[in-house]
Structure 1
C-alpha cells in the first residue's frame, strides 16, 4: 500500500507540473515587450506565435518573410534567432510527448501488480528526468536568444517562461523526492537497482 500512495502522490504532483509545461507551450508569453505610456502597446512572443496589441492579432513566429531572422546580420555576436527559437519549440513539444508517457507509465504501473509497482520507479524516474532536461534545454535556448539578439533589447521574460522554469524545477524536485522515498521511506517495497 505505501507504494500505491506514493504513485498516486507522484501522479498528482506530475499532473500539475505537466499542466504548467503545457501552459508554457501554448501561451504566447515567453518574451514580452511593453511600450511606455501614453502610447501603450504590448507584444508577446511565444514558441510558435507573436501577438501584438498594436495590430490586435497573432501571427506565426519566427518567419523569414517578416524579417524575424534578419535582426542580427552583421552582428559580432553569435545568434541565429530562427534556428534556436524553432529548436526550443521542438524541445518543448518533445517534452510534452514525454510528459504524456510519464502519465501513461504512472497510470499503468499504478493499476498493475505489486511487482510492477516495485520495479516501475526506475522507468518513471528516467522519463521524468528526460522531461525536465528537455525543458531546461528549451528554456536555455530562449534565454540565449533573448540575451544575445538585437531584436529583444528592451524585452523581458514573460509568464510562459516562468511556467517552464517552475515546471522543470518541480519535475527535478519530484524525481529527487521519489529517489529519497524509494531509498529511505519504503522499507524495501521499491527496488531501484
Structure 2
C-alpha cells in the first residue's frame, strides 16, 4: 500500500521529468557540431530548429529541401518531435493523476498507483523510442560525419525517461512492500 509521501516523491519526480522533457523540446541542442575550440563555428540541430554560429541565428528544421533530399531522415526526425510532444501530454496527465490521488482518500491511494505506473511506463517507452531514433540517425545518417556529438537535449531526454521509469518502479515497489495504511484494529473481546 503506497503512502502519501511516496506519491509526493513520485509527483516531484514527474514534475522534474516534465520540465526536462519540455526543455529538451525547446532547446535546439539534440545534436551539435564544432571542432573543439570555444571560438570555432558550431551548428546545432533541435527538433524544430537548426542554429548556426556562422549566421548567428536559427532557422526552421527540417525544411522542405531537407525532406526532398532525404525523406526517411525527415520523417524520422519529425516522428521524434511528435513522440516528445506526446510524452509531454502523458506527463501532464501523470501530474494530474498524482494530484487526484494525493487529494483523494486512502482508497484512492491504494488503487491509484496502477494508473500512475501505467502512465509512467508509457512516458518512458515513448521517450526511450525518441532518444533511440535520434541516436540511430546520429550513427547512420551521412550528414552526421565525425565531429558531431549528441548534445544537451538528448541527455535531458535520457534523464527524463530514466527518472520516470525509476519513479514508476519505486511506486510499484512501495505498493507491494509497504504495509496497509491505517488498517482496522481488532476490538479486544470481553472476558
Shorter chain as denominator, the TM-score bin is 0.7 to 0.9
Q: 1:148 to 1:69 in 2, by over 3 A?
A: farther
Give the Cα separation in 1 of the matches to 2:24 and 2:38: 30
How far the C-alpha of 1:64 sits from its partner, in A, is: 2.4
Partner residue in 2 for 1:8: 8
| Equivalent residue pairs, number | 180
Partner residue in 2 for 1:58: 58
Give the Cα separation in 1 of the matches to 2:111 and 2:38: 61
> Any idea what SS the aligned residue of 1:150 has?
coil
TM-score under structure 1 length normalisation: 0.87
How far the C-alpha of 1:188 sits from its partner, in A, is: 3.0
How far the C-alpha of 1:173 sits from its partner, in A, is: 1.0
> For structure 1, which segment, 38-47 or 137-146, has the greater mean C-alpha deviation from structure 2 after superposition?
38-47
Is the counterpart of residue 143 in structure 1 residue 138 in structure 2? no
Partner residue in 1 for 2:98: 106
Contact 1:135 1:168 in 2 (8 A): yes
Contact 2:7 2:171 in 1 (8 A): no
How far the C-alpha of 1:35 sits from its partner, in A, is: 3.3
Structure-to-structure mapping, 1:6-155, within 5 angstroms: 6-35=6-35, 40-65=40-65, 67=66, 70=69, 80-154=72-146, 155=148
* Unmatched 5+ stretches in structure 1: 73-78
Give the Cα separation in 2 of the matches to 1:2 and 1:122: 11
Is the counterpart of residue 183 in structure 1 residue 170 in structure 2? no
Contact 2:2 2:109 in 1 (8 A): no
TM-score under structure 2 length normalisation: 0.88
Contact 1:105 1:124 in 2 (8 A): yes
Runs (4 or more) in structure 1 with deviation over 4 Å come to 36-39
Give the Cα separation in 2 of the matches to 1:106 and 1:128: 11
Is the counterpart of residue 173 in structure 1 residue 146 in structure 2? no
